[in-house]
Amino acid sequence: MAVYTEVSFDEASALLHTLNLGSLQNMQGCSGGIENTNYFVTTDQGAYVLTLFERLSFTQLPFYLHFMKHLALRGVPAPDPAADRDGDILHTLQGKPAAVVNRLRGKSELSPTPAHCAAVGDMLAQMHLAARDFDRSQPNLRGLDWWNETVPVVLPYLDPDQAALIRSELAYQNHVAASSAYTALPRGPIHADLFRDNVMFDLEPGAQSQPVLTGFFDFYFAGVDTWLFDLAVCLNDWCIDLGNGAMEADRTRSFLSAYTAVRALTSAERELLPALLRAGALRFWISRLWDMHLPREAAVLQAHDPAHFERILRQRIAHPIQLTPHLSHDAFN
């Protein structure tokens, strides 16, 4: 989250009144993330997040907002966009698309244990299954087509070794995407950005030993893609040593075992998980390079280090994950 567009107290108050969410008491700009303008707002009725969309269009946004509502109605803890008197959940503020959603309780866990990873794996699989009957479609806008368009733009900022790596990996991913095994991968709406800071946990009374997952949020990179890519993005964040990008065995086992207990992987998915882990690392290396070297102005902004996903990509190439046939018993060698 970040602040690119300044919103006054009166402007926010008027929108919240239109949505019948009460009288605004407090608002604070959010400093995390890099895509949209976000404010935490509190009224006499509750706590919400106000978002102004800086890149996504009025045409693209209904997919994301209705996807969240679809999931919430099916028991997946996702933010619920507020509607006006006409039932519209996409609004306008300062000429830009805007939405207001309920603020999820709990906090993000930036040092997850195997128990946190199991909770996310379980809910991710539930989310994939719950989205099967979602009736809107939009491609993953940060998928392979975007990688092919963006790599030439960021190449001038790389040293020769980095340039060789990114060219080689992009060629490899285009080869994978043309394969029959890739064509066979199950697909549907995915989150595509479910990092540690996009999940909330809390502790229920009497449950001090186990974390309780209270929400998935920030769905604004969602799109239709392979479920395996969504899983790979998660594994590359939840189950690694942040210092060197290496996979951590206990967390990986917990995540995969919980996921596959809800939805078993197909043979094509087991075959291509190493390749999709590389794809997930490449996607975020490219986007971080783009955001680092071609930034937009923002009132509050935290840049992310592209080198982090370069390290992860090199780890995934050098040390591909090996899955056993029976994931529920021993998911990781």
Model pLDDT for residues 79-104, shown as the tens digit of each residue:
999 999 999 999 999 999 999 999 99
Q: Are 103 and 188 in contact (CB under 8 A)?
A: no
pLDDT at 237 over 60: yes
pLDDT score at 55: 85
From the options 3.90.1200.10, 3.40.50.720, 3.90.1170.50, 3.30.360.10, give the CATH code of 114-318.
3.90.1200.10
Sequence ranges of the chain with CATH classification 3.30.200.20: 9-102
Strands 24-29 and 37-43, how do they pair? antiparallel
Question: Cα dist. 174→2, 7, 143, 182, 230 in Å?
Answer: 33, 42, 11, 11, 18
> Rounded to whole angstroms, what are the CA distances from 113 to 193, 197, 202?
20, 14, 14
How sure is the predictor about 298, in pLDDT bands with cuts at 50, 70 and 90? low
In the β-sheet with 37-43, what is the strand arrangement from edge to edge?
24-29, 37-43, 47-52, 96-102, 91-93
Q: Which CATH architecture fits 9-102?
A: 2-Layer Sandwich (3.30)
pTM of the model: 0.90
- Over pLDDT 70: what percentage of the chain? 92
What is the per-residue pLDDT across 139-197, written as a single tens digit (0 to 9) for each?
999 999 999 999 999 999 999 999 999 999 999 999 999 999 999 999 999 999 999 99
Residues of each domain in the chain carrying CATH 3.90.1200.10? 114-318
Q: How far lies 98's CA from each of 45, 48, 79, 89, in Å? A: 20, 13, 14, 9
